[in-house]
Amino acid sequence: MMANWLQKFIYLSSNAVPLLVIIAIIWQIQLKTWTVPIVLLVISIVLVFSFILSFSFGMKHLSRKTINVSGVESQDSWMFGFIVAYLLPFGCLVIKDYNKFIVFVVLSLLVLVGLSAVVTFPNFWLFVIGYHFYKLEMDGIGMKDILLISKKKRLRSKKDVRVAIRMFEKILIDTSGDR
């Protein structure tokens, strides 16, 4: 059993929380109003708590499977790209000149594509709470873009991963040693 569409939505949208917080801060500084920043901060808090609940539920209820790994490579470097590509450019964002319709259309497209696409990118909050990310190559199925989420800081060998939870298509959570 894999996680459902709501859990996938929460997984994807929780990555936007740092961006929402930065926009709230910039909005308050530039426009000196509190309504939009408070709404964005409440949405951020709801997303973070929803993510925590969803991830905890998945860890307890999704089925564990034995996997055969033929290769493993660290993917933690994505964090630097996340900061540079997604957060820093918004430091100079001019909020006064935004179009609500365009923002709505872009966000709707991101949600639709994100829910229907096979995504294999890490989650910011998992990194914050100590998880690490690895790209796996799996024996027998020939897939190379499997993302493994693990509490282990270093996976040096393909033998370090034996049991995992299939969270989404191409995203696994390492449970080798949880039992």
pLDDT per residue over 67-86, tens digit each? Answer: 888 888 888 777 776 666 56
Q: Exposed, middle or buried by CB within 10 Å (0-12, 13-18, 19+), for 19? A: middle
The C-alpha angle with vertex 47 and arms to 101 and 6, in degrees rounded to 5, equals 85
pLDDT (tens digit per residue) in 4-45: 889 989 998 998 898 888 888 888 888 899 999 999 999 999
